Amino acid sequence: QVQLVESGGGLVQAGGSLRLSCAASGGTFSSYTMGWFRQAPGKERGFVAAISWSGGSTYYADSVKGRFTISKDNANTTFYLQMNTLKPEDTAVYYCNADPVSSPITMETRTHPFASWGQGTQVTVSS
């Protein structure tokens, strides 16, 4: 089964940058869409960005368009979230996950629950 491990979070001042990594293993990913999600205290987990593993198509939540970039390294089965111009409202625990049937755009409205979530990586943006 697919295993995903997030890393790269930290504390940064508003306007700064971070790059998150998600290392994937345990499967073949040709038909998968990989995604980043985040959850702030007291809020529901929400969609951030997604990328098609094979074709490279991407889709972003409106709140991060123009600031965040999702990318992938097929050889190392790792995908990334480059976060620039960070804002305090970006503060959250960030998680990655993978879906074998969704497209990047449909990841935002996906209703079927993921089987599991990892520990996530904390991103804190100070004002």
pLDDT of residue 123: 98
CB distance 72 to 50 below 8 Å: no
pLDDT of residue 1: 80
Strands (E), 40-91: 46-52, 58-60, 68-73, 78-83
CB distance 94 to 26 below 8 Å: no
pLDDT of residue 39: 97
CB distance 6 to 95 below 8 Å: yes
pLDDT of residue 43: 94
Angle at 39 between CA 79 and CA 19, to 5 degrees: 30
Question: pLDDT 10s per residue in the chain (127 long)?
Answer: 889 999 999 999 999 999 999 999 998 899 999 999 999 999 999 999 999 999 999 999 999 999 999 999 999 999 999 999 999 999 999 999 999 988 999 999 987 788 899 999 999 999 9
pLDDT of residue 115: 87
Residue at token pair 């123009």 = 66
**CB within 8 Å of 44: residues ≥ 6 apart:** none
Distance (Å, whole) CA 62 – CA 65: 5
pLDDT of residue 42: 94
pLDDT of residue 105: 94
Distance (Å, whole) CA 99 – CA 18: 25
